Structure 1
């Protein structure tokens, strides 16, 4: 079986069994951020700890990315002939709203307020043969 690694361990943890997003929690005002930040945008506090974010939420808004993003920083397929469009949206988790890739790319299959869950997605295979994984949210049936 091919080893899977996270695109960024400070954003996505996949080593503890069940994947989760890594955010930040301000110890002064209890505000959450994603991704983790060195300071709190709500109270300007600097006492921030890593926080495991929920893996289910509600879809707020979305669009479809129909062409390859600029590379770098985009690390996925950037050949227009091989690129597959993907949804992008805002998902409200219990702690914070995240901007995220969506597994669904047909607007007619997405609706405001629908339940979504975190999924792992293969982004690319690195030079060591490891699958580099990113995250996306998928509609819950």
Structure 2
């Protein structure tokens, strides 16, 4: 089965230990995700690609209780949709990234928990191609 990323230049998959691709401003050191051409802090065009840490800490979270619309739709229907958790994950000292969590029950989630980047099949296209995206799973080390 063919697999493709949901968007180019967002993560380094199919690397064995994939990382998100962000950017860092050479002028003021602001870090962004996804990568941008201009700095949101100082406005300069001095951004360089930066691979973000694979592990982070859950800063805040919520649940998605309704079927998302495009471009966030995963191919689920109202009958097959299951609510899921979305978190804001602090990666290193530089940036917070929003992403789906692989756990969704409130008793499985706690502020400050350790998370690790994973790549998962987001949807399957009509031709059978799996479209891959990123999520955050509880890390082995916890926190």
- How high is the TM-score relative to the length of structure 1? 0.90
Counterpart selection for 2:84 from 83, 86, 94: 86
- The answer as to whether partners of 1:68 and 1:77 remain within 8 angstroms in 2 is no
Unaligned runs of 5+ in 2: none
- 1:81-102 Cα deviation digits (max 9, x unpaired): 1112111010000131001111
| Aligned-pair CA distance for 1:109 | 1.1
Which residue in 2 is equivalent to 1:122? 121
- Are residue 51 (structure 1) and residue 55 (structure 2) matched? no
2:106 aligned residue:
107
* Structure 1 residue 24, shift from structure 2 partner: 1.0
CA displacement, residues 22-78 of structure 1 (integer Å, 9 cap, x when unaligned)? 1111111221101112211122111111211111000011111121112x2123034
CA contact (8 A) 2:55 2:115 kept: yes
Q: Does structure 1 retain, via aligned residues, the 8 Å contact 2:75–2:124?
A: no
* Counterpart secondary structure, 1:108: helix
Equivalent-residue separation in structure 2 for 1:63 and 1:36 (angstroms) = 25
Q: Let me know the Cα RMSD of the aligned residues.
A: 1.5
SS in 2 for 1:12: coil
CA contact (8 A) 2:63 2:85 kept: yes
Instruction: Verify: 1:134 aligned to 2:133, yes or no.
Output: yes
Instruction: Give the equivalent residue in structure 1 for 2:73.
Output: 75
- Native 8 Å contact 2:67 2:73 kept in 1: no
Q: What's the counterpart of residue 7 of structure 1?
A: 6
Q: Does the Cα contact within 8 Å between 1:77 and 1:83 map onto a contact in 2?
A: no
